[in-house]
Amino acid sequence: MTAPGAADGASRAPVPDRAGAHAGRAGAAEGVAALVLGCLARAGHSLAAAESLTGGLLTAELTSVPGSSTVVRGAVVAYTTDLKTRLLGVDGSLLARVGPVDAAVAEAMAEGVRAHLGSTYGVATTGEAGPETGSEAPIGTVFVAVSGPDGQVCRALELVGERRRIREAAVDAALRLLADVVAPT
């Protein structure tokens, strides 16, 4: 894992049109979720999620996997900036300085949910899905982060597409980052 505050790079990718292909996306995402949860279960670890732009979609994907209750402790949807501070312990001065869409905020959210829900790992999503922005970040700017016993890792994304697809791509990215951390190949 990288040091806190260090995103491992941004990737700019168009989000493919998933109209009519939702079942394929869901199947792929569920496969990654099942892989992650299986690895965590075998190791006796637990997971908690802190979601902003994904608004519960990540947790829904995780809990769609049979047996997920043995690993998933819970989640916090902190959609507004004040809740990131009150519920997740994200430093208010950090939020005032960088805004809610930032690598350091994503990492703080992941660590906060991990600490508050008493889990081995925490995963977080924050970003701008549009159509309007609530921060200085351009639409499509997304950060996903994982916090665990060895520190935090964050991935920066610059996604192109409409709101629904950006949110789905953020879920996919969070699941892939979790897989990279708990089930490296």
- Please give the model's pTM, rounded to 2 decimal places: 0.86
- What average pLDDT score do residues 76-87 get? 96
User: Is pLDDT at 6 greater than 50 in this prediction?
Assistant: no
Alpha-carbon distance of 10 to 34, in angstroms, equals 26
- Specify the pairing of strand 47-51 against strand 141-148: unpaired
Domain residue extents for the chain: 7-182
When pLDDT is cut at 50, 70 and 90, the band that residue 27 belongs to is low
- 153 phi/psi in degrees, rounded to 5: -140, 145
pLDDT at 21: 36
Q: Return all residues near 73 (Cβ < 8 A) that are at least 6 apart.
A: 46, 47, 48, 117, 118, 119
When pLDDT is cut at 50, 70 and 90, the band that residue 26 belongs to is low
User: Is pLDDT at 1 greater than 80 in this prediction?
Assistant: no
- What average pLDDT score do residues 58-84 get? 97
Instruction: With beta carbons less than 8 A apart as the criterion, state whether 175 and 135 touch.
Output: no
- Class level of CATH domain 7-182: alpha beta
pLDDT at 3: 40
Portion of the chain with pLDDT greater than 90, in percent = 79
Q: Tell me: the pLDDT tens digits for 99-146?
A: 999 999 999 999 999 999 999 999 999 999 999 887 889 999 999 999
